């Protein structure tokens, strides 16, 4: 349940600092440290909608095609795999650029913040054609002794067809 939109300058600055730090970690490929921004109870879902008729797409139960549906343990395993010297998709490394635009910050009953953003991520790797991911992100961020942590992430990507071999980008 949401309260009124949260606009305290301090909280807006904290949210912005959280995302700036996260972008730096994801761009530099420091996924192990990125994991420390996530709550141990995190639920992390990346998906896109299936393109259906306009009437059907207004339906809450409109079908989804998932790319990730993770908790902290599964993310740890994926990141462990990425770190292997035999992770062939990670050499050559991808270069990624993360852009976002915060649209709304609301306080939730449980004390978390619900932050809605547009996201835009560019991925380039070797001489592959590259990927451009655009979508909508809805996060629940929780204030802890160690600062804000990600409790829940839902990213709905606009692209319906992933091109260029595979999707090895985290959002």
Partner 1 sequence: MERFNMSNSAALVDLEAGLMSREIYVDQAIYEEELEKIFGKCWLFLGLESQVKGPTDFFLTFMGDDSVIVNRGADGRIRAFLNSCRHRGMRLCRVEQGKSDNFQCPYHGWVYNSDGSVASAPFYDTEDDMSDWGLTEVAQLDVCGGLIFATWDPDAPPLRDYLGGMAYYLDFAEARVGDGGLEVMGAPQRWTIDVNWKYPAENFSGDGPHVPATHASAIEAGWRKPDSYKTKHRDAKRPRQHRIFFEGNAHTFGGGEDPAQSGGELLGPYAHFIDDLRDGLKADEENDKWLLTPLGVGTVFPNLSFVDGARFKTLRVWHPRGPNKIEVYSWCVVDHDASDEVKEDGKRQCLMAFGATGMFEIDDAEMWSETSRGLSGFRSRRDRPLNYSLGLQENLSPVSAADYFGDEDLPGLVSSGGGISDDALHRFYSEWMKYMSI
Complete edge-to-edge strand list for the sheet that includes strand 64-70: 2-5, 94-108, 113-125, 131-144, 147-157, 38-49, 64-70
Q: Does 69 bind partner 1 (CB under 8 A)?
A: yes
Q: Does 74 bind partner 1 (CB under 8 A)?
A: yes
Alpha-carbon span 20 to 22, nearest angstrom: 5
For residue 85, what are its two tokens?
Answer: 């010297």
CB of 4 to partner 1, least distance (A): 35
> 81 or 95: whose CB is closer to partner 1?
81
Task: State which H helix or E strand residue 24 sits in.
Answer: helix 9-28
Alpha-carbon span 151 to 130, nearest angstrom: 30
Q: Does 60 bind partner 1 (CB under 8 A)?
A: no
> 40 or 143: whose CB is closer to partner 1?
40
CB of 53 to partner 1, least distance (A): 5
Q: Does 122 bind partner 1 (CB under 8 A)?
A: no
Helix (H, G, I), strand (E, B) or coil at 6: coil
Name the burial class of residue 131, with classes exposed (0-12), middle (13-18) and buried (19+) by CB atoms within 10 angstroms of its CB.
buried
> 101 or 160: whose CB is closer to partner 1?
160
| C-alpha to C-alpha distances, 23 to 58, 97, 119, 152, 159, nearest whole angstrom | 32, 8, 11, 17, 21
Among 65, 95, 97, 144, binds partner 1 (CB under 8 A): 65
Q: Does 93 bind partner 1 (CB under 8 A)?
A: no
Binding mask 140-169 for partner 1 (x = CB under 8 A): --------------------xxxxxxxxx-
Q: Does 40 bind partner 1 (CB under 8 A)?
A: no
Judged by the rule CB under 8 A, the positions of this chain that interact with partner 1 are: 46-47, 50-53, 56, 63-70, 73-74, 77-78, 80-82, 84-89, 160-168
């Amino acid at each position: 349940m949401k309260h009124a939109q949260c606009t305290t300058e301090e909280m807006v600055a904290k949210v912005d600092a959280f995302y700036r730090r996260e972008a730096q970690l994801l761009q530099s490929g420091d996924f192990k440290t990125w994991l420390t921004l996530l709550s141990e109870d995190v639920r992390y879902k990346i998906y896109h909608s299936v393109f259906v008729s306009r009437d059907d797409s207004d339906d809450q139960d409109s079908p989804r095609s998932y790319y990730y549906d993770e908790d902290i343990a599964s993310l740890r395993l994926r990141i462990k795999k990425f770190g292997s010297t035999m992770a062939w998709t990670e050499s050559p490394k991808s270069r990624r650029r993360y852009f976002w635009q915060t649209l709304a910050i609301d306080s939730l009953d449980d004390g978390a913040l619900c932050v809605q953003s547009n996201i835009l991520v560019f991925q380039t790797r070797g001489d592959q054609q590259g990927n451009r991911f655009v979508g909508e992100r809805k996060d629940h961020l929780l204030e802890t002794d160690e600062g804000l942590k990600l409790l829940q992430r839902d990213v709905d990507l606009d692209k319906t067809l992933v091109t260029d071999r595979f999707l090895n980008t985290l959002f």
